Every structure is written in C-alpha cells, then in structure tokens.
C-alpha cells in the first residue's frame, strides 16, 4: 500500500501580500521540507487592474515600478525562507496576466506543479460576489491538487485581526 502515498515535488504558492497568502506560504514551507520538494512562490500582477484604474494607460515606468516592487517582496520572502527555515529549493516568479488562469493552469503546466497551496480568499463578500474568488476558481479548475490553507503550522484555525466565525 505504500506506493499509494502521494509525494509532492513541486509546490506552488501564489502570494499577494495578504495575511492569508503568507499563512499558506508558512505551511507550504513546512510541506516542502517534509517532501524535499521545490517551492515556487508566485505573484501575479493582474493586467486588468492596470488597464481599468488608469483610463487604459499606465506608463512603462509605472509598470516597471510595480513589477520591481513585486520582485523585491518575493526576494525578501525567499531570503527569509532560506535563512530562517533552511529550505534551499525556493524559486520566485512574477507574472502578468489573469491570476485565475495563471495560477490554475498556465504556471502549473509550465513548471509541472503537483500541488498548489493557497490561502482562503482575501476578498470581502461583495468583492467575491462581483469578481469571484481566485481561490474558488483555482480549486475548481486547477490541473493539479489544491490545498486551501485555513490553519497555521500548528494546525490551529487562523484568526484574522477582525474576529469572524
């Protein structure tokens, strides 16, 4: 029966700066260490947001600055993980596009991801109704296993600053 045990070798964690995403990242680091897996940390810059909020035009400089900030954010996460958690096999990626498609299909296809670990949605109920949660979409359509992280590394339920049941 031992050959039935699922081993994950390439774990993808999409991050967006939210507490939920960083909670998922912490847990993914632990899972990656247990499986001697590679950890891919991904930040998808939603191109719709660039077009929508700036009357269709965002200067090349502004886009460069946004992707530069994303790169710096991911670099600091990678440094922390390699230094404090001792996980060496960490790659960071910044992508432009639709986060739903990039996370569910494009990235996992390109990098042979076998597990996506992500936080439950950071959106409020109204935003979820309007946009649909990226997490829900990925969970429904991803080409590999998806784990929605709702607990911390000690498996305690995650409490956001605003207490909600």
* Residuewise pLDDT in 10s, the chain (165 residues): 455 567 899 999 999 888 888 899 999 999 999 999 999 999 999 877 766 555 556 777 888 888 999 999 999 999 999 999 999 999 999 999 999 999 999 999 999 999 999 987 655 666 666 656 888 899 999 999 999 988 777 878 776 654 443
Residue 58, SS3 per DSSP: coil
CATH class of 10-149: alpha beta
Closest CA to 31 of 40, 39, 23: 39
CA distances from 17 to 4, 25, 42, 153 (A): 36, 11, 11, 18
CA distances from 44 to 1, 15, 62, 72, 165 (A): 39, 8, 16, 14, 29
Contact 37, 31 (CB under 8 A): yes
Q: Could you tell me which of 17, 11, 7 has the C-alpha nearest to residue 89?
A: 11
Q: Are 71 and 15 in contact (CB under 8 A)?
A: no
């Amino acid at each position: 029966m031992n050959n039935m045990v699922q081993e994950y070798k390439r774990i993808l964690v999409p991050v967006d700066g939210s507490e939920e995403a960083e909670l998922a990242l912490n847990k993914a680091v632990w899972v990656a260490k247990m499986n001697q897996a590679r950890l891919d940390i991904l930040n998808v810059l939603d191109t719709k947001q660039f077009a929508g909020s700036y009357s269709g035009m965002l200067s090349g400089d502004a886009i460069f600055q946004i992707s530069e900030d994303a790169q710096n954010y991911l670099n600091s996460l990678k440094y922390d993980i390699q230094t404090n958690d001792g996980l060496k096999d960490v790659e960071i990626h910044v992508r432009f596009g639709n986060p739903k498609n990039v996370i569910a299909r494009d990235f996992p296809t390109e990098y042979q991801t076998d597990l996506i670990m992500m936080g439950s949605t950071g959106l409020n109920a109204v935003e979820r109704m309007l946009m649909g949660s990226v997490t829900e979409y990925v969970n429904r359509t991803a080409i590999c296993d998806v784990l929605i992280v709702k607990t911390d590394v000690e498996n305690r339920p995650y409490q956001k600053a605003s207490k909600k049941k």
